[in-house]
Amino acid sequence: MHNKLQYISQGNTIEEQLSNIKNVLDHGCKWIQLRFKNANAQDFYTVAEQTKALCQSYEATFIINDKVDLAYQLDADGVHLGLEDMPIKAARNILGNQKIIGGTANTWEHIVQRTHENCTYIGLGPFRFTNTKQKLSPILGLEGYQTLLQRMKQENIFIPVIAIGGITLEDIDLLIETGLYGVAISSLLTQNPSLITTLNEKIHVTI
């Protein structure tokens, strides 16, 4: 875990997905989470296979959202699992101890759960309303992050926490000040990949 800026891919077609992914890689992003929710199995595999090749050529981390079996098949760097996806322990049994397994959380109870599951990092959110995710959990806002991260510190929980959900450039400084490890961004980077350099500087990415 060293990439503090994560891109969650967008696109309704194979072409859109791959174009968006290549654009952010071209601009210096080093972490791609492939998220292609409405795709059929063949289209998802096609994008995943080509994304792995792109990430290898750009020396970027390649994470697959949800699909543990595909991550194993393609030897991806890891997976990100939602609260209703495969349990982290089951995914660890399939992928082994060396792979990255991120887990979504929205509440203190979720953070405790993810800690006990020994996930690599926690994707905590949403920060604010976002159109990129259906069935949105309750909004945390800046105060929510401050409260939860402070409690983690008090309880000696040191898993890296990544903020997610409607984050803009103007939010970064205040978010990082809460003690967050990094941020995961989708729409902003899809629309403005040239912001990656500025974002990297703001969150002190080590590449």
Tens of each residue's pLDDT in the chain, 207 residues: 678 999 999 999 999 999 999 999 999 999 999 999 889 999 999 999 999 999 999 999 999 999 999 999 999 999 999 999 999 999 999 999 999 999 999 999 999 999 999 999 999 999 997 766 556 678 999 999 999 999 999 999 999 999 999 999 999 999 999 999 999 999 999 999 999 999 999 997 544
Each residue of 51-67: pLDDT tens digit?
999 999 999 999 999 99
Q: Indicate the SS3 state at residue 157.
A: coil
29 φ, ψ (degrees, to nearest 5) = -75, 140
Asked if residue 126 has a cis previous peptide bond (ω within 30° of 0), the answer is: yes
CB 202 within 8 A of CB 174: no
Alpha carbon 87 to its chain's center? 17
Please report the DSSP string for 124-140 in residue order. E--SS--TT-SSPPPP-
- Domain layout of the chain by residue ranges: 5-202
* Cβ count near 89 (within 10 Å): 12
Q: Indicate the SS3 state at residue 107.
A: coil
Domain 5-202 has CATH 3.30.420.40: no
CB 24 within 8 A of CB 52: no
